[in-house]
Each structure stands twice: as structure tokens, then as C-alpha cells.
Chain A
Amino acid sequence: MTTKTEEPVYVVDSLIAEDIDAYLDQHEHKTMLRFITCGSVDDGKSTLIGRLLYDSKMIFEDQLDALTSDSKKVGTQGQDIDFALLVDGLAAEREQGITIDVAYRFFNTEKRKFIVADCPGHEQYTRNMVTGASTADLAVILIDARKGVLVQTRRHSYLCHLLGVKNIVLAVNKMDLVDYKQEVFDKIVADYTAFAQSIGIESFTAMPISGFKGDNITKLSENTPWYTGPSLVEHLETVEVLSSVDAEKAFRMPVQWVNRPNLDFRGFSGLIATGGVKPGDKIRVLPSGKTSTVSKIVTFDGELDEAVAGQSVTVCFEDEIDCSRGSVISIADNPPQTADQFESTIVWMADEAMVPGRAYWLKLGTQMVSATVQEPKYEVNVNTMEHLAAKTLELNAIGVAEIATDKQVVFEPYGENRALGGFILIDKMTNATVAAGMLNFSLRRSQNVHWQALDIGRKQHAALKNQTPAVLWFTGLSGSGKSTIANLVEKKLHRMNRHTFLLDGDNVRHGLNKDLGFTEADRIENIRRVGEVSKLMADAGLIVITAFISPFQADREMVRSMLPEGEFFEVFIDTPLKVAEARDVKGLYKKARSGELKNFTGIDSPYEAPRSPELRIDTTVLSPEEAANLIVDTLLGDA
């Protein structure tokens, strides 16, 4: 076998030199295709991308010089050019010879511009592959001809299918190492066909290639006369792009920003997700459901007669209707749905596992809502597609779970509309993007359970009691003095003719919450229920006092968000762990230290101190009596 690559001569498109205006005109009218390459280093993925860049003249001479010398130093191809070195960008990757992150590459042919998401193939990088697939029109799934369909082939195919990539290319690579035998190729295609059908992939295009030698990359190779399909580049140049498919659907545009330079102009700016819009079209704004007519479509380059999916525009209406960031503008007679409970498929992307019941930010289009995820119905084994029972989702795990949001969300199933069905989850404490998800459908119970409007509301309840309802939420370590101080506060308020109710942690666990233990998930559910009860009591006009350790900031914030602004009053009973442990009124710290008691806050479970409580009580300075006075004064002074 020869080890010499084709002549590494730098050639350019002759049109550039001969007629630059014609070349620019051609470039101006190119369309764009985004694709993802899936496969591991062993499959020759980086080599294939390096080859595409090289063959389409995207490698400059200085890069080629550096590449040639790098290839000799650290390359794995002997004296040959190691194309993989071109694309493995980060230092850690060059050292370890692996691709860690998604890298984006660009190249042009005469018909198209291409953006390639170059993704790592190992299982521990599932999240990176999902990221790359999320914007892809097409996926190239690489198979090593010597190895055939492997576990990773199935994983990559499943992930691409999950993310809705419709065009799949099965690139059987390293054909040079199996002497370009048709039987090898046919066998792999047959194996893959059976698998693809089993997971619902309707069609794919298979081709025999060699990224290293260049066979069937830009032109059909003489080495595979039995192959009559297109070359890889030819296929990439002609396949239909997603934005053209989206343009044929019903009009939807999530509103990003309201453009209001002066009183005479009010426009709604956004990127059109699907469909098209023209002046005169009847539209409906979701979730309000209000309708109007498009008066004009404004851009810097002049008003448009029509705008389509993929364009960023500013739309004006004939009527002044309520519309703001997070609203979705749609065609009037075919609007998307709204709901607040969904079944969704979730890809977990953070080191810290998902916490069922915890509130996360959910961003979908331009909507940002608070959402809780239930315990997964099942987790998918990405290698075998089996459904496994799961209590949570760990890094790179994919599962199906129900999600509830605190507000109505305008959505469409992901399979119909990526822009209105794909979402990310953001941790409220660390602000990290912890998961990506796809809404499958809304749950019936949220469609059919409607809020019953009652004649006597919270206003009337409060007015009769002649007070402003509030929830005094005490938080602090076990033994910090929460119950003692809460009790004093209630006594004082009671004496002042205020209608109060004290919810105590231990007492609630004897009744309402006696089914709950002390795991993180149970603690969150405990707080959620107490939050709901507090809300009902506040609706009834009461001043509610709660005394719970409530160690997690996210959960306290969840309760805060249930109540009207200003009614949640967080009181941080700040007692250092040492002091609380020394007091050890109930002997619990001793048990926790001896290991008899698990998940004890401050010992083997964290306490997250409030970042900005309404009031902080330092019990090393204030007596319980003084603390209670301060709390009552602050509450009533505020009220």
C-alpha cells in the first residue's frame, strides 16, 4: 500500500482569477447547509473533515506548512499528512489525541457554504453530540469498514434521530483498508438498514468512502466502480436544507424584543421560526390569543412584501394588542398550543444529577419560565435503546419525564417544530445550562383542569381580617432557634389581633407529609407542599409563619415565586453550625455525627444560606425575644 497522499498542491478556483465579479455573484447566491459528523477518532472523522477542508481549498499554505511539520512530529500517519491535526483545536485534545468539544468548521463549494459541527464520538461526550445535532440539517455517520455497525454507530444514529435530523448519510469509511470490496459495503448497509428501521429512521444514504485517500469525497472514485450513487460532496450540495422545509409550515415567530423608538412606532422583532408572513395577514398573538393584522414588515433595508422562516424581521400590527418578549406571533387560524404540563425527552448535561421536583429555569424560544421535572418515567440506554427504570438522570443520560411549568408555555411538539419544542434547563443557583429537552406532547390534565374563578377572592378575605397577608418563611439549621422565635412571633402578632397560623416542620411531617423521608427529592417535595399550603392560607388572608430548615435556595425561591410580590418574607435564622451543634436540643447532631442519622443538614447534606433574605437574625447577638420584636416590627413596618 502506498503511503503517499495526493499532491499537496494549493489550487484555487480558476474563476477567482479570471472573473472575480462572476465568482462573487456565484458565492452570493449559495445556500447554506449545516451538518454534523459523528464517529470517533478511530473512525477517521477528523481525517474526513480535514480532507473536506483540504479538497475545497480551505487550508492555506502557512497552515499546510505547519500541518506538514506537525504531522511528522506528532502525527499518526508516518510521513503522510495527518489531517486530524487540522481540526483538533484545543491543547488538551492535541495532547491526548481526542476530540473533547464541538468544533465548527467552514468550507465552500460552488453551490453551497457548509458549517460542520465536528463532535466527539465517545459515550462520555453524548451531550456534545446532541449539541452539534441540534442545529444540523444532515448527519454524516461514520463507520469503519473493517468493524461494521458497532454500538457507537447505533448510539450516534439514535441521537441524530432523537434531535430530528432528517437527512442521514452512512459513510462507510476506510474502504481502502478492505480493498474496496462491495460485499463488505453491502453487508454493512444491510445491517444498518435493519437497525435504522427499528428506531424509526425512514431513509438514509449510504456511500463507500476513504477520507484518508479521498475516494468518493468530491468525485466518484475509480476504486469503487460498483458504486453509482453521488459522492459525499455532491450529496451535501443537493440535499434539501431545513430552512426550506420550515418555510412551508404555518407561520410562527417568537418575539425577542419590542421595538419602540417613539410613540408612533411599535414593532415586534424576532427570527421567523416557520412559515412566512405578508402585510395584510391575519395573525394571533399567543398566549393572549388576541388577533390583529400585519400592517408592515420593517427592516433596515426597507419594508418587505414577504418574509420567511430563517429571516430576522420587525413586524407591525394594525391594532395595539398586548405582545411582548416571550409572546409568539402566529397565523390567526392555525395557532400553536399552550400548556403547562408536558411529557418531554431530556438529555442531562451537567455533572450534578437532575433533582426531581427542583425548580429550574426553562428557556424555550424566547420564553423563560420556572419548571420542575418529575422523576423520569424511564431512562434510555443509548447503546441498546432499552428503557431502564430511573430515579434521576446523570450526566449524558437521556430519559423521558414529565415537566410542569409555572406559566402557560406556547409550544409545538419538537418533531413538528424545533424552535417551539426544544428547550434548555438552567440551574437557578449556578446558572449553568444543565439539560436540553424536547417537548413531546402536553398532558391532558393541564388541558382540562381550568382555574375556577371564585367570587370571594384573596382581596376580600384579607379585607375582612383587616390585614395584609404574608408568609414569614423561617430558614436555618436544625437547632438554630427557628421554632422558638417563630412561636414568639406568633404570640406577639396574636396579641396585636392579627390572624396567624404557624406551620412547624416537625408537626407537618406527622400529618400532611408523613409519607416523605429526608432524601433531597423528598425534602424538595416537603417544601413544595408546605409552600402550596402557605399559599392557600395567605389566600385566606392569614399571616403564615413557617419554621422549616429548608436548606436549598432553589426551593425557597420556588415558594417565593408562588406568592404575589412582597408577600414572601424570608427570615434567615443565622446560627453558626458550631453553636447549633453545641445546643443540640433534640440530640440529632450527635446521631448524625455517629452516622445513625443520614442526610442531616450541615453534617452530610448542605445548607445553602439565603443570598438576600428580607431579614437576617444573628442569634449569637440577639435573644429570641429581641429577634421576635425585630421581625414583627419589620413585617408590620413594611406592611
Chain B
Amino acid sequence: MSSLQRESRPGNGAKSTKGCSMKTLTHLERLEAESIHIIREVVAEAEKPVMLYSVGKDSAVMLHLARKAFYPSPPPFPLLHVDTTWKFQAMYELRDKMAEMSGMDLLVYHNPEAQEKGINPFDHGSLHTDMWKTEGLKQALDKYGFDAAFGGARRDEEKSRAKERIFSFRTQSHGWDPKNQRPELWNLYNAKKAKGESIRVFPISNWTELDIWQYIHLNDIPIVPLYFADERPTVERDGMLVMVDDDRFPLKPGEKPVMRSVRFRTLGCYPLTGAVESTAKTLPEVIQETLLTTTSERQGRAIDKDAGGAGMEVKKQQGYF
């Protein structure tokens, strides 16, 4: 048993004062209410909001919360997928299905320059992320003139994110200035901005990875099957198991995909996303494995390690989400 366990004390737990049925909300109920409040504030105060949808589990929860926020209306903004053309096939399938299910418009944006130059994760390294994602996102926001964009980032993911506001103000060139953030008190968010400036809004800032999984479990939210273990064709590259998702994958001489029982903890471009060997086929099993695992979630991603300890902070200043 854990060292944190102690005898329960009187007065602890659910309250039942004055004979009324007032209940103490659970942490997930409070988190849900807080996120819905944030999403509604944006719709009330921004001129043209959009929800960035990456098809991952965090996006899935964020989209679900948006549907709850405006029910019975559909969420009054579109979904935007800044695509790299290198996502897993299963992600494209779920993306289209969810857009239809939610009754929202889906905008898919490809950076034309990246497309023209054939930028890909095999030949271009970090340029792939810079052009398709960072530049692509800025271009897409400028093209449509969105002044507020929802993103599914969480504060527990990474150190610089722990300090970012829920309403994160961006300059005309989409830059983030960590030293000049607007104070955020109570649940009062300041959405005022000049023309050309925008805000990124993180409604699930206060959720942890465990909260996300549990919420998906409780609400039966559809997620990409890649999160569950299955036999998949993989090769080992630089100590990382990579899935061969389509025939664009340049196999080295003599290299042959091997069927392994794997799943993914995070989803991105398939050649950049490491799989873990696993037999977890249900959500509780996935959660169990996640909790028992000894490495943090973003470890499978190359981006955090760029530029020393401050990798994500630098990326964010440049306009990465």
C-alpha cells in the first residue's frame, strides 16, 4: 500500500448538510465544467474562433467538451487540421468521422510550399515540423483570419507549458512572450486584442494524462485504434519502433517490417512516432500500462529535445502551438 494512505477522518468525503442533496463535485466534474466555461467565453468574446484538431486523445476530449458546451447546438466554429500528409491512415479516418458526427465544418490545411518541395520526415529532419506544422499553422490562421484558436495542450506535459496562460496572447507574427503574459485571475479571461493579433486558448490546461484517459473511458469518446495494442508492421530505427503505415516508407536494403504487438502513447506523423510493445487492448489496460510505465509521455517525441532544456519554450516563441 502506498505511503500516502492514512486512516480516513470524520468529516471527510461527501457532504450532506442541512438535509439537502448538494453534492461535492468530483475532480473530473470540476475540470469538465471549467473547460466548458472557457470554451463558451471564447465563443462569446472572439470574432472568429477555430478549434485545432490533431485527432489525438487530447483533441478528442477537447472536441467532446465543445460538443457538451453548446448542446443542443453544434459547436459554433469549425475544426482545423493542419496536416502534414504524413499522419497515420487511421487518424484521417477518425478525423473525417468525428467532423461528421459533431456537425462541424472541417478545414484541412497543407502548407503549399512544403507540399511543392516535398518536405518529408525522412529527408528533412526538423524542417519537416517547422514547415508543415509551425509555418502551416500560421499560414492557416492568417488565411482564414481566425482570431482565437483552441488547442489541446496540457500544463502537465512540459515545463514551459506549466506557465502558459489559458488564454495565451500572440502577436501579429504569432509569437509568444513568456515574460509578458496577461495576468489571469479567478475565471476572468481577457480576450481583447488589436487587429491581426490572436489568442491561443487551452481549455484542458489543468487536465493530466490520467484525467484524459479516464474521461475518455467514462464518456466512451471515440479515439484512434492505434492507442490500443494490435499486430502492426514495424521496423526499428535509432532505438525507436516505427510503424510502416504506407508504401512511402523508404526501407533500407535488407530491412523488413516485422509484425509486433504495439500501441502508441501519442500520435503524430507516423515516421516520427515511436510505438511501444504492448498487449493492452482495452482502455483500462492502456491506463494501467500508462501508469505503470516509467517514462513521461512526451519522451517519444523528438521536438522537446531540440535546443537543450528549453526546446518547447523556444518553439512556442516562434509560434509553434
B295, A243: Cβ atoms closer than 8 Å = no
The residue in chain A whose Cβ has the minimal distance to the Cβ of B4 is: A109
Bound: A87/B159 CA distance, A: 7
Q: How far is the CB of B60 from chain A (nearest CB, A)?
A: 15
Instruction: Flag A361-378 by CB within 8 Å of B: 1 or 0 each.
Output: 101111000000000000
The residue in chain B whose Cβ has the minimal distance to the Cβ of A245 is: B15
The residues of B that contact A365 with a CB separation of less than 8 Å are 188
Bound: A89/B156 CA distance, A: 11
Instruction: Flag A77-98 by CB within 8 Å of B: 1 or 0 each.
Output: 0000000000101111010000
B313, A312: Cβ atoms closer than 8 Å = no
Question: Which listed residue, B22, B72, B178, B193, touches A101 by the CB 8 Å rule?
Answer: B178
Bound: A261/B76 CA distance, A: 10
B26, A30: Cβ atoms closer than 8 Å = yes
Known: A13-B2, A436-B185. A29 touches B26 (CB 8 A): yes
Q: Does A5 contact B (CB under 8 A)?
A: no
The residue in chain B whose Cβ has the minimal distance to the Cβ of A57 is: B2
Q: Which stretch, B38-46, B117-125, B130-138, touches the partner chain A?
A: B38-46
The residues of A that contact B2 with a CB separation of less than 8 Å are 11, 13-14, 110
Q: Does B144 contact A (CB under 8 A)?
A: no
B4, A24: Cβ atoms closer than 8 Å = no
The residues of A that contact B26 with a CB separation of less than 8 Å are 28-32
Q: Does A333 contact B (CB under 8 A)?
A: no
Q: Does B108 contact A (CB under 8 A)?
A: no
Known: A62-B295, A312-B32, A314-B71. A276 touches B22 (CB 8 A): yes
B25, A243: Cβ atoms closer than 8 Å = yes
A256, B44: Cβ atoms closer than 8 Å = yes
Bound: A349/B184 CA distance, A: 11
Instruction: Flag B298-310 by CB within 8 Å of A: 1 or 0 each.
Output: 0100000000011
By secondary structure, the A interface counts as mixed
The residues of A that contact B12 with a CB separation of less than 8 Å are 111, 237-238
Known: A24-B284, A103-B163, A308-B22. A16 touches B291 (CB 8 A): yes
The residues of B that contact A301 with a CB separation of less than 8 Å are 68
The residues of B that contact A16 with a CB separation of less than 8 Å are 288, 291-292
B185, A422: Cβ atoms closer than 8 Å = yes
The residues of A that contact B44 with a CB separation of less than 8 Å are 256-257, 325, 366
Question: Which listed residue, B179, B206, B208, B293, touches A100 by the CB 8 Å rule?
Answer: B179
Instruction: Flag A432-467 by CB within 8 Å of B: 1 or 0 each.
Output: 110010000000000000000000000000000000
Question: Which listed residue, B22, B37, B192, B205, touches A248 by the CB 8 Å rule?
Answer: B22
Question: Which listed residue, B29, B72, B287, B299, touches A24 by the CB 8 Å rule?
Answer: B287
Known: A312-B40, A431-B194. A24 touches B206 (CB 8 A): no
Question: Which listed residue, B40, B178, B285, touches A20 by the CB 8 Å rule?
Answer: B285
Q: Does A575 contact B (CB under 8 A)?
A: no
Known: A31-B25, A32-B30, A312-B37. A55 touches B3 (CB 8 A): yes
A241, B24: Cβ atoms closer than 8 Å = yes
The residues of B that contact A431 with a CB separation of less than 8 Å are 190, 192-194
The residues of A that contact B185 with a CB separation of less than 8 Å are 130-131, 134-135, 422, 424, 436
Instruction: Flag A11-25 by CB within 8 Å of B: 1 or 0 each.
Output: 111101100110110
Known: A14-B1, A61-B295, A300-B67. A261 touches B43 (CB 8 A): no
Number of interface residues of A (CB under 8 A): 100
The residue in chain A whose Cβ has the minimal distance to the Cβ of B41 is: A256
Instruction: Flag A320-356 by CB within 8 Å of B: 1 or 0 each.
Output: 0000010000000000000000000000010000000
Instruction: Flag A235-258 by CB within 8 Å of B: 1 or 0 each.
Output: 001101101100110000000110
Q: Does A631 contact B (CB under 8 A)?
A: no
Known: A101-B178, A363-B190. A31 touches B24 (CB 8 A): yes
Bound: A306/B2 CA distance, A: 37
B4, A91: Cβ atoms closer than 8 Å = no
Bound: A241/B69 CA distance, A: 25
The residue in chain B whose Cβ has the minimal distance to the Cβ of A427 is: B192
Q: Does A518 contact B (CB under 8 A)?
A: no
A12, B292: Cβ atoms closer than 8 Å = yes
Bound: A113/B1 CA distance, A: 18
Bound: A13/B32 CA distance, A: 26
Instruction: Flag B181-198 by CB within 8 Å of A: 1 or 0 each.
Output: 111111110101110000
A261, B11: Cβ atoms closer than 8 Å = no
A104, B206: Cβ atoms closer than 8 Å = yes
Bound: A41/B232 CA distance, A: 50
Q: How far is the CB of B290 from chain A (nearest CB, A)?
A: 9
Q: How far is the CB of A237 from chain B (nearest CB, A)?
A: 7
Residue among A10, A257, A299, A301 with most chain B CB within 10 A:
A257
The residue in chain A whose Cβ has the minimal distance to the Cβ of B290 is: A16
Bound: A10/B2 CA distance, A: 12
Known: A30-B27, A237-B12, A243-B24. A106 touches B218 (CB 8 A): no
B284, A20: Cβ atoms closer than 8 Å = yes
A433, B182: Cβ atoms closer than 8 Å = yes
The residues of A that contact B299 with a CB separation of less than 8 Å are 60, 62
Bound: A103/B162 CA distance, A: 5
The residues of A that contact B208 with a CB separation of less than 8 Å are 106, 108, 113
Bound: A389/B107 CA distance, A: 57
A90, B163: Cβ atoms closer than 8 Å = yes
The residue in chain A whose Cβ has the minimal distance to the Cβ of B283 is: A24
Q: Does A102 contact B (CB under 8 A)?
A: yes
The residues of B that contact A218 with a CB separation of less than 8 Å are 3-4
Instruction: Flag B66-94 by CB within 8 Å of A: 1 or 0 each.
Output: 01111111100000000000000000000
Q: Does A271 contact B (CB under 8 A)?
A: yes
Q: Does A115 contact B (CB under 8 A)?
A: yes
Question: Which listed residue, B22, B72, B163, B206, touches A115 by the CB 8 Å rule?
Answer: B206
Bound: A146/B188 CA distance, A: 39
Chain B 1-41 residues near chain A, CB threshold 8 A: 1-6, 8-9, 11-12, 15, 17-18, 20-34, 36-37, 40-41
The residues of B that contact A231 with a CB separation of less than 8 Å are 6
Known: A219-B6, A271-B37, A325-B44. A432 touches B29 (CB 8 A): no
A89, B33: Cβ atoms closer than 8 Å = no
Q: Does B296 contact A (CB under 8 A)?
A: yes
Known: A60-B295, A256-B40, A257-B40. A28 touches B218 (CB 8 A): yes
The residues of B that contact A616 with a CB separation of less than 8 Å are none
The residue in chain B whose Cβ has the minimal distance to the Cβ of A31 is: B24
Top 9 closest A-B pairs, CB basis?
A32-B27, A89-B159, A61-B294, A312-B36, A431-B192, A113-B27, A20-B288, A300-B68, A261-B73
14 residue pairs A–B, Cβ–Cβ below 8 Å = A20-B284, A28-B28, A31-B24, A32-B30, A90-B313, A92-B179, A243-B25, A259-B73, A271-B36, A311-B29, A365-B188, A422-B185, A426-B192, A431-B192
Add 4 more A-B contacts to A101-B178, A436-B185 (CB < 8 A).
A90-B159, A106-B206, A256-B40, A431-B190
Binding site for A on B (CB under 8 A): 1-6, 8-9, 11-12, 15, 17-18, 20-34, 36-37, 40-41, 43-44, 67-74, 155-156, 159-160, 162-163, 178-179, 181-188, 190, 192-194, 205-206, 208, 210-211, 214, 217-218, 284-285, 287-288, 291-296, 299, 309-310, 313
